Structure 1
Amino acid sequence: MKYRTSYRMFVIVFMAMKFFWQIYWFQRFRRVWDERTAHKWEALLERQAKEYRQKALELEGLLIKFGQFLSTRADLLPPAFLREMEGLVDRVEPVPPEYSRATIEREWGCRIEDQLSWFGGEPVASASIGEVFKGYLHNGTPVAVKVQRHKVEKIFYTDFRALRIVFWMLNRIKSVRAQADFPALYRELVHVMSKELDFKKELKHAQYFQERYEESKGVYIPTYYEELSTRRVLVMEWIEGEKVTDTEFLKKHELDEESLAKRVFDLFIDQLLSAGMFHADPHTGNLMVQSDGTLVMIDFGMVGEIKQEDATDIQNIVQGILLEDYDQVIRALKSMDFLLENADEGKVKRLLRDTIHMYVQGDFTSFDQEVVNQVFEDLQEFVKDQPIQLPADYAFLGRAVSIVVGVVTTVFPNVDLLEWGKPVIQRWVGGGESNASIYKQVLKESARPILSLPRSLNEYLTDGQKQREFQQQSQAVGFLHQYYVMYGLFTSLVTIGACMTLLMNLLMWEVVWVTFVSSGAFGIGFLMLLVIARSHFNMIQRERGLKR
C-alpha cells in the first residue's frame, strides 16, 4: 500500500489535518494557560511527534528525510517535537535483493557478472533512498555499490505533492503564515531533497571534495568509478574503517583522541565557514577513521553550499558581534534572508546584545535578576512572534554544525571549541581578500569614539528598555569611558587654548587682564585634566578588579 499514490497522499494530508485540528481545538477551549495546561500542551505535541515518527518509519521515503529536516527547524517547531525528530534515524528495512539487482542491470545495460566478479546477495546498509552492497571488480578491487531503492523516486514525488497541500493549508492560516514564507520554504525543501535522488550529482559532489582535500594529510575521500555510476547506481572504492567515535578502536590502535578530534574540527570548520560546498550529513556513519588515524568522509548525497556572499555575511555577523555593531549584524541577517518583513529589528538587536553580553560574562550571575527575567520574557515573546526564518540550506548548515560538535565532544569531551576556533577568527581579522576586514572596521570605530556618545545618550533617552538596562555593568562602564574621553578632550582643548592665549599675551605684552584670565583658565583646566585622569584611572582599576 505504501507505493500507492492515493494512499500515501491520504495518510500524509489526513495526519496533518488531524494535527492542525487538535492544536486548534486545544487552544480554542483553554484560555487560562497555567502549569497544568502547559503540561497537557507538551503531552499533545509529544503524541503528535511520536505519531509522525511511526508513520515515517512505516511509509519510509521523504517522510524520514523531512523529519530530519524538521529536527533542524527550532524556528518552526516546539522543543517537544524537535526531541522526537532528532531520534528519527535514516535506517529502514531493505527491499528484496532482486529489485536492486534489476535496477543495477537496467542502469548498466548488462548483467552484473559482466562488470563484477562477485556481488553480495544482501545489502550491508539500507536507508530511505539507497542501499549499499559489497562487490569485487574483475581485477580483485573491492567496491561499494549504492543502489537506489525500488520506486523511491515515485514515493518522493508523491510525498512532494502531499506536502505541497500541507504547506498550502499552513499558508492559509493567518497566525501561522506570519511565522515563515511557506511557499519559498517548500521550494527550498524540494530543491534540497530532490538532489539526493540523482546519484550523478552525488558523484560530482564527491569529485569536488576529492579535489578540495587532495593535498590534505590525514583526510581521504574514496575513489569513485564514473564509468559504472549512473543516476540510480553509484560505485566507489570499498573502505575499511570504524566510526570515528569508536573509542575501543581508538585505544586499540593507540590513536590520540584530542588530535583526532582537532582534525575533525579543522576539517569541518573549513567547510562550514567558508565559501563552497559542505557535507550536510556528517554523522558517525559517514565519518570513519582507519587504523593509521586517517579520516575518511563518505556519502555526499546531502551536500549544502555556502556562496561567497553568504561567507561574507557570516564574516560580517562575527565582526558585528565583536565590535558590538548590531546594525551590521542585522544587515547581514537581512542579506541572508533570515529576517522576515514583519521582524522587529529593534527587538532582534536588543536580544542579540543581551544574549551576547551574558555569554561574554560567562554566566547570568553578574546580572540583576530583574534584567535576566526581562531578557527571558523578551526571548519567549521573540520566539512566539517568529520574526525570523531559517532557509533550507542554512537549516542543513545548522544541522551539520550540531552533528560535528556532537562528534568532536564525543571523541574528546574536554574540547575547548573557542580556543580551537581562534585561528579561524585570526584569519578573518587579517582580512585577506575580504572587503570587510576587521582591521578596517576597528580603525573606523577607533576614529569616532566621541561621536558614539550622542548615539548612546539618544538611545538612553528614547529607548525604555535601555533605561532599565542602563545601570548594568558593561553598558554603564562603556558610557563612563566615553564620558571621560569626551570630557577630557573638551577640557584639553580649553586648556590648550588658554595656554596659547597666555603665551601670545606674554610675548606681545597685550592687555594685562587677558593674561590673568588666560592664566587662570589654564590653571583650572590643568587641574581638571588631572582630576579626570585620576578618576578615569580609578574606574579602570575597579573594572579590572571586578573582572578578576
Structure 2
Amino acid sequence: MNSQLKYISLYRITVIVWMAVKFLLQIFWFHKIHRIWDQDTKDKWKELLEKQAWEYRRKAIELGGLLIKFGQFLSSRADLLPRLFIKELEGLVDRVEPTPFHYSEQMIEQAWGGPIDEQLKSIDKTPVASASIGDVYRAVLHDGTPVAIKVQRYRVNEIFKVDFKALRMVFFIIRTFTRYGKKADLPALYKEVVTVITNELDFTLELSNANRFKRRFKDFPSVYIPDYYKEISTKRVLVMEWIEGAKITDLAFMKKHQISPEKVAKTLFELCVEQYLFSGMFHSDPHSGNLMIRSDGTIVVIDFGMVGVMKQTEADSIRSMVQGFILEDYDRVIRALIEMDFLLADADIERVKKLIKQTTDLYLEGGFGKLDANKMNDIMDELQSFIKEQPIQLPADYAFLGRATSIVVGVLMAIYPQVDLVDWGRPVLKRWMSGESSRASFYKEIISESAKPLLSLPRALIRYLEDGNKQREWERTQHQKKLFHQFYLFYGMMAFLLMTSGGVSALYAMVRDIRLFLTMGIVLCGLGVIGMLVVGISHIRMIKK
C-alpha cells in the first residue's frame, strides 16, 4: 500500500467502513444459508471468524492509528466479540514501521521551542521501539544522563480524529441494521473508546500516571518505576529515565545474573494483586514489553499510557459479588452487578439470576480444584452465550481489569510454569474479603467462613422444597399428558372400529338388500367418522399447546 494513502481521510474512512460492512454481510449471509448448526457448520463459522480477524489485523498493521488501538481494546471485550475473534486479536501488537527521524526531530523541536541540541547532547536516530502512537529513542542529556524519549508519530492526532469519524459511522450501521446494535449501549461504548485512546495521546497524563504509581509502590523494594523529566516533557514528547535490563520473560538473562524466576514471579504476583483487588490505579497493559528485569532482580514497570482506576465503591461491589457467590446469595450478586453497571436498563433480572445460578451449580459444584483447561473453555463458551442472551456490557475499566489479569497470568506462567496461584493468593484473598487488615477482621472472617453452611441452609432448604414441589408438579403434568395421549389414542381407535363396522354393515345390507341394517350401518359409520375428526382435532390442539 502506498504509504501516503493512509494519510488521506476519505481513503481511511472508506477502508474502515467497508471492512465493517463486509464483515456484517458475511455474518448475515452465513446465518442465512446455515440453518442447522452441526459440527461442519461450527467449523465453517470458526474459519469465517479467523479469516475476518486475520484481515482486521492485516489492515490494522497497514493503516496503524485507531485500528491497532481499537483491536487491543476489543481483545479485552468478551461481551462484544466471539472468543475465536478475540483469540486472533490477542496477537495484535504495535507492529508499525518507524517514523522517519526528521519527522520526530521536527516534533521534538516544536514541543521544546528550539533545536534539539539545546536539551540533548546526543540522540540515536534509530528508535528502540515503534508503536501506533509514538516512537522511543535513546538520548543523552548534557550532564551525561541517558534518557528515553517518546515522540508522537507524524500526524497521529489527525489520523485518530479521522478514524474516530469512521468508527462513529460503523457504530451507526451496527445500531441501525443489527440486532446486537439495538441491545448494546453503543454510544457509551464509543465514548469509552474515544476517552481511553485520547488519553493515550496526551503524554502529560502518562507522566502523571507514572508518578502516581511511583508514590503508590514506593514501599515495594523489588519494584521500580522510572523517573520522568517533567520540565522537558510535553503532550507530544515524553522524557524518562533510561533503564538497562531485559524483558521480564528473558529466562537466559535471569540465569546469567543468578536471578530466581520464582522470586520474580512472586514479586510480580504481589504487585498485580495489590493493583487488581484494592482501590487505586492499575496498569491495563502489563505485557512483557512493559515489564523489565534489571540485573539485580528488580522489576521495572514502564508505559503508563493505558491505565484503569479501581474506585473504592467498585472494589466493594466486587467483594460483595464474590461474597454473594460464596454464600449462594444471588440477590447480592445481582445487586453488585447493577452497582458495577454490568447490567443495562432492560436486563431481565430474574433471567440473569437464574442463568448465574445454573452456570455456578454446573461448573463449580466440584470445587475450583477440578477445573481443567477444557472446563475453563466450556466456562468461557457458556459466558459468551450468557452475554449474548442478556443485555450486558462491561464498563471499560472492568474489561481492562480482566484483560490485564489474563496477560499477567500468561507472563507468570512464562516466568515460572510451576506457579501456584491459589496458594499464593490465599492470604491476600482473606485480607481482601474481610475489607480490612486487622486481627479482629481476620477472626471475623473465620466466623463468617464457619457460618456459611448455617447461613446457606435456610435458602438451600427452601430451594429444595420449592424445587421438590416444582419437580412433583412437573412429573404430575407429564403423567397427565401421557394419560391424555393414551385416552385420545383409545378413543380414536374406538371411533375407527365404529366407522369400520358401520361401513361393513352398510355394505352387507346393500348386498342383502336389508334396509334396516343399511340405515344402522350408515349411522354407525357417520358416528365413527365424526368421532375420529373430534378426537384428531382435540389431540392436535393438545400437542400444539
User: Is 1:352 the equivalent of 2:357?
Assistant: no
User: Is 1:155 the equivalent of 2:159?
Assistant: yes
Within 5 Å, give how 1:110-189 maps onto structure 2.
110-177=114-181, 179-189=183-193
- Asked if the contact 2:53–2:88 (Cα under 8 Å) also holds between the matched residues in 1, the reply is yes
2:276 corresponds to which letter in structure 1? L
Q: Distance in 2 between matches of 1:79 and 1:375?
A: 11
Inter-CA distance 422–445: structure 2 relative to 1 (3 Å threshold): closer
Displacement of 1:453? 5.4
SS in 1 for 2:7: coil
User: Is 1:236 the equivalent of 2:221?
Assistant: no
Residue number in structure 1 paired with 2:462: 455
1:252 corresponds to which letter in structure 2? K
* Segments of 4+ moved more than 4 angstroms: 374-381, 433-450, 462-468
SS in 1 for 2:309: strand
Deviations 1:398-427 (A, max 9, x none): 111011101111110011101111111121
Q: Distance in 2 between matches of 1:380 and 1:6?
A: 36
2:325 corresponds to which letter in structure 1? I
SS in 2 for 1:235: strand
Inter-CA distance 35–225: structure 2 relative to 1 (3 Å threshold): same
Given candidates 63, 83, 101, the residue that maps to 2:105 is: 101
SS in 1 for 2:143: coil
Given candidates 313, 317, 322, the residue that maps to 1:318 is: 322
- Asked if the contact 1:75–1:386 (Cα under 8 Å) also holds between the matched residues in 2, the reply is no
Inter-CA distance 448–91: structure 2 relative to 1 (3 Å threshold): closer
- Asked if the contact 1:286–1:299 (Cα under 8 Å) also holds between the matched residues in 2, the reply is yes
User: Is 1:278 the equivalent of 2:285?
Assistant: no
Displacement of 1:331? 1.6
User: Is 1:57 the equivalent of 2:61?
Assistant: yes
Residue number in structure 1 paired with 2:230: 226
User: Is 1:331 the equivalent of 2:335?
Assistant: yes
Given candidates 211, 216, 219, the residue that maps to 2:220 is: 216
1:457 corresponds to which letter in structure 2? Y
Q: Distance in 1 between matches of 2:305 and 2:110?
A: 22
Inter-CA distance 146–334: structure 2 relative to 1 (3 Å threshold): same
| Length-normalised TM-score, structure 1 | 0.79
Computed over aligned residues only, the root mean square deviation of the Cα atoms, in angstroms, reads 2.8
User: Is 1:309 the equivalent of 2:313?
Assistant: yes
Within 5 Å, give how 1:464-483 maps onto structure 2.
none
SS in 2 for 1:75: coil
Instruction: Please say which structure displays the higher CA radius of gyration.
Output: 2
Inter-CA distance 359–155: structure 2 relative to 1 (3 Å threshold): farther
Residue number in structure 2 paired with 1:197: 201
- Asked if the contact 2:79–2:388 (Cα under 8 Å) also holds between the matched residues in 1, the reply is no
- Asked if the contact 2:327–2:455 (Cα under 8 Å) also holds between the matched residues in 1, the reply is no
Q: Distance in 2 between matches of 1:187 and 1:380?
A: 23
- Asked if the contact 2:327–2:456 (Cα under 8 Å) also holds between the matched residues in 1, the reply is no
1:456 corresponds to which letter in structure 2? R
Displacement of 1:169? 1.4
Residue number in structure 1 paired with 2:264: 260
1:125 corresponds to which letter in structure 2? A
Inter-CA distance 379–280: structure 2 relative to 1 (3 Å threshold): closer
2:420 corresponds to which letter in structure 1? D
1:57 corresponds to which letter in structure 2? I
Q: Distance in 1 between matches of 2:397 and 2:46?
A: 29
Deviations 1:414-472 (A, max 9, x none): 1110111111112134432899975686587577566435522344146669999xxxx
Q: Distance in 2 between matches of 1:270 and 1:462?
A: 47
| Length-normalised TM-score, structure 2 | 0.79
Displacement of 1:377? 9.7
Q: Distance in 1 between matches of 2:437 and 2:263?
A: 30
Q: Distance in 2 between matches of 1:58 and 1:79?
A: 24
Q: Distance in 2 between matches of 1:465 and 1:359?
A: 29
Q: More deviation in 193-202 or 175-184?
A: 175-184
User: Is 1:6 the equivalent of 2:13?
Assistant: no
1:452 corresponds to which letter in structure 2? R
Given candidates 356, 370, 379, the residue that maps to 1:362 is: 370
SS in 2 for 1:285: helix
Within 5 Å, give how 1:63-74 maps onto structure 2.
63-74=67-78
- Asked if the contact 2:278–2:315 (Cα under 8 Å) also holds between the matched residues in 1, the reply is yes
1:455 corresponds to which letter in structure 2? I
1:405 corresponds to which letter in structure 2? V
Residue number in structure 2 paired with 1:35: 39
Inter-CA distance 197–449: structure 2 relative to 1 (3 Å threshold): closer
Given candidates 246, 251, 258, the residue that maps to 2:255 is: 251
Inter-CA distance 112–288: structure 2 relative to 1 (3 Å threshold): same
Inter-CA distance 206–463: structure 2 relative to 1 (3 Å threshold): farther
Deviations 1:456-501 (A, max 9, x none): 2344146669999xxxxxxxxxxxxxxxxxxxxxxxxxxxxxxxxx
2:347 corresponds to which letter in structure 1? N
Q: Distance in 2 between matches of 1:449 and 1:342?
A: 27
Given candidates 386, 391, 394, the residue that maps to 2:395 is: 391
SS in 2 for 1:2: helix
1:313 corresponds to which letter in structure 2? S
SS in 1 for 2:365: helix
- Matched positions, count: 461
Given candidates 19, 22, 26, the residue that maps to 1:15 is: 19
Residue number in structure 2 paired with 1:425: 429
Displacement of 1:292? 0.6
Q: Distance in 1 between matches of 2:369 and 2:434?
A: 26
1:427 corresponds to which letter in structure 2? R
- Asked if the contact 2:328–2:456 (Cα under 8 Å) also holds between the matched residues in 1, the reply is no
Displacement of 1:342? 2.4
- Asked if the contact 1:461–1:467 (Cα under 8 Å) also holds between the matched residues in 2, the reply is no
Deviations 1:279-298 (A, max 9, x none): 11111111001111011001
Displacement of 1:172? 1.6
Displacement of 1:33? 2.3
Q: Distance in 2 between matches of 1:353 and 1:291?
A: 48
Q: Distance in 2 between matches of 1:66 and 1:466?
A: 52
Inter-CA distance 67–429: structure 2 relative to 1 (3 Å threshold): closer
Q: More deviation in 271-280 or 441-450?
A: 441-450
Q: Distance in 1 between matches of 2:177 and 2:185?
A: 12
Displacement of 1:272? 0.9
